[in-house]
Amino acid sequence: MGTPFISFLEPTKLDGYDCNKPHDQQSPHIPRVFCDAMEVREAVFVKEQKFPAELEYDSDDARSCHWVVYASVNRVTEPEQRDPSTGTIVQLRKSETRSQPIGTMRIVPFPHPPHPKQDGWYVGDVLQSRADPDAQAESLSVVEEARQNAALPYGEDRATTFHDGMEPYVKLGRLAVIPEFRGHKISAQLWGAARTWLKENPSYFDPSVTELGMDALKVDAASRIPKWRGLVCCHAQERVVKTYEKWGFQVDEGMGRWFDGGITHVGLFIRLDVKDVPSKV
């Protein structure tokens, strides 16, 4: 493996992305970096973890920032061939070096759907009926319903251990490294790149009051205009919690545990030290 390098993709229109087709069959106007991110996600979440392929791409992808790490990989395209009677080489081995995407992650800006329900059963972050098909689906509160049904719901959420239910946070997600490159701290490099970018661009996701207006922001006072102050959330598979804890994340016990794609997940938070900048107007 050559020295890895990382590419960054800002939020971009992904109109025309067909979730029923793999990454290498998409329209040519879809950014290459995003297709590379999907190559990794398809390998890990779809092929390895059996997550439904048509749900791997979601509405958050176009509004998120994406990081993709690559490695220069040499692969044999045509093997060496020898004459079976004499052992003489009749065709030399041919190979090529490719910059292969080996890991990816994204940062999803606020706002977000409600915090997952304790023991809730989700598919693609959408609350479903219980795993038992005969059980009744859990009902949502009035606040949860409003947030779940709104396109971009700013508003109150239930309070958890590290979130007061109101403060805007960004969410780390879709972190994946293909199997043959695990154990090389690729995920740490991705988080390091994202963390640095977030600290250097603390107001990037803050909404503009002039563009959206107070009504769209669902706030009744200037002091409640959403503004990011360094809070980062992660919905992680329970089996990889220790990795996030090494980076400084803490498990939010108040958020509880839930199932996404049949896999137990927990919530974690970290607060980055960011500079206070004026709100966008």
Domain range enclosing 127: 2-75+93-271
Q: Is residue 213 part of a domain?
A: yes
- 39: nearest Cα among 58, 21, 15, 27: 21
Return d(Cα 231, Cα 15) in angstroms, integer. Answer: 30
Give pLDDT, residue 3. Answer: 67
Position 14 in a domain: yes
Query: What is the structure's pLDDT at 137?
Result: 46
Residue 276 resides in a domain: no
pLDDT at 72: 85
Length of the chain: 281
Model pLDDT, residue 244: 97
Amino acid at 188: A
**Does residue 82 form part of some domain?**
no
**What are the distances in angstroms from CA 278 to CA 31, 42, 221, 226, 275?**
32, 40, 16, 12, 10
Count of the separate structural domains present in the chain: 1
Whether 80 is covered by a domain: the verdict is: no
The confidence score (pLDDT) of residue 211 equals 56
C-alpha span between 239 and 265 (Å, rounded): 8
Q: Cα(125)–Cα(118) distance, rounded to whole angstroms?
A: 13
CATH of the domain at 186: 3.40.630.30
User: What is the CA angle 120-252-190, rounded to 5?
Assistant: 100
Query: Strands, E, within the chain: which ranges?
Result: 5-9, 65-78, 81-82, 89-91, 94-108, 121-123, 126-127, 170-177, 231-237, 250-251, 257-260, 263-271
How far apart are the C-alpha atoms of 260 and 6, rounded to whole Å?
28
* Residue 248 in tokens: 């400084």
281 residues of the chain, pLDDT tens digit each: 556 899 999 999 999 999 999 999 999 999 999 999 999 999 999 999 999 999 999 999 999 999 999 998 767 677 878 888 888 887 877 767 778 999 999 999 998 988 999 999 988 777 887 655 444 445 555 555 554 554 445 668 899 999 999 899 999 999 999 999 999 999 999 999 999 999 999 999 998 765 555 555 555 566 667 899 999 999 999 999 999 999 999 999 999 999 998 899 999 999 999 988 776 66
Give the C-alpha separation, 263 to 261, whole Å: 6
Q: What is the largest CA-CA distance in the chain?
A: 87
The answer to whether residues 40 and 178 touch, using CB atoms and an 8 Å cutoff, is yes
* DSSP strands (E only) in 143-220: 170-177
pTM: 0.82
pLDDT on residue 128: 83
Residue 50 resides in a domain: yes
pLDDT value, residue 276: 81
Residue 85 resides in a domain: no
Residue 121 lies in a domain: yes
- The whole-angstrom separation of Cα 104 and Cα 127 is 25
